[in-house]
Amino acid sequence: MKRQNQSMITEFILIGFSNLGDLQILLFFIFLLVYLTTLSANATIMTVIRLDRALHTPMYFFLFVLSCSETCYTLVIVPKMLTNLLSTAPTISLSGCVAQLYFFVGLACTNCFLIAVMGYDRYVAICNPLNYTLIVSRATCTQLVLASSFCGFLISVVVNVLVFSIPFCASNRINHFFCDISPVIKLGCTDTNLKEMVIFFLSILVLLVPLVLIFISYVFIVSTILKISSVEGQRKAFATCASHLTVVIVHYGCASFIYLRPTSLYSSDKDRLVAVTYTVITPLLNPLVYTLRNKEVKTALKRVLGIPVATT
């Protein structure tokens, strides 16, 4: 009977925001506006970095890749969510759910590793500036990006195998607005404790280990900055790290709240709100933070737009 029920499930129903009734129309326009702004902001960041030679440095190379990855990340989640907000039958096929979870986890893990790599870049730039170009060479940058992507999508393969090897014979109603790990696992009708433990271990590997490495990097960074005799020098050094730290806090904070805890503690309403933050808001936050808080990017944007730049 279990095999028969499992084979009958060819699609899932994404409950998502269906309990909000007419408010779904308002959410559609809000999320659409945020999504279009996100695409525009990330496209602007990538264009400016590509066109302005002053930004052809490792720091902005990693930012370019992160913006590209964040854009793809939103494409996996937001268009389907917008479609379902206007649909009376918000469904996703089994193959679509598998693909969505694969690319979501792969890109999310890649972003985590990229942000850690950006922390390493700041560490070398501030703590070992004389050897910076030798240590963080173009080849090294490319290798770090490829390694981040490879590890991210390798972990995604493992997660997908663990999640979709479970027989779904209880229900096909996913209590979320996309195919996330915990809501899908909860549909299984067998004991999933071992698989959840493996996924939890992978979450520690993806979230906690990079976060600890970033923290250690910033201990050395702050120690080095405090040794700078000039107050202006200290201010500039802290300014180069402020944008990255903001992204670290928001990105790892939201993801840790969801994934560094047992599935049994999953709370649909609260977790949906946090999920909106890291799937819709955070991809918009990254380009805004790096544009509004970064003088080099703002100056480069003016040059690309042909706006006169005051020289000091």
Q: Which residue has the higher pLDDT, 90 or 311?
A: 90
Candidates 50, 47, 42; CA nearest to 71 is 42
pLDDT tens profile 85-110: 888 878 899 999 999 999 999 999 99
Residue 173, beta-bridge partner list: 13
Q: Which residue has the tokens 């020098």?
A: 233
Q: State the residue for tokens 């790096």.
A: 290
pTM confidence score: 0.89
Q: For 176-211, write each residue's pLDDT tens digit.
A: 889 999 889 888 888 888 998 999 999 999 999 999
Mean pLDDT of the chain: 86
**Coil, strand or helix at 303:** helix
Distances (CA, A) of 268 to 17, 101, 257, 280: 11, 18, 13, 17
Q: Tell me: the pLDDT tens digits for 268-285?
A: 666 777 888 888 888 888
Token code pair at residue 242: 């402020």
What are the DSSP E strand ranges found in the chain?
11-14, 91-93, 173-174
- 212-262: per-residue pLDDT in tens? 999 999 999 989 888 887 887 788 777 778 878 888 888 888 888 878 876
**Would you state the torsion angle of the CA atoms of residues 163, 165, 166, 167, taken in this order, to the nearest 10 degrees?**
140
Q: Rounded CA gap, 160 and 99, in Å?
A: 9
Instruction: Name residue 289's amino acid.
Output: V
How many CB atoms are closer than 10 A to CB 45? Answer: 28
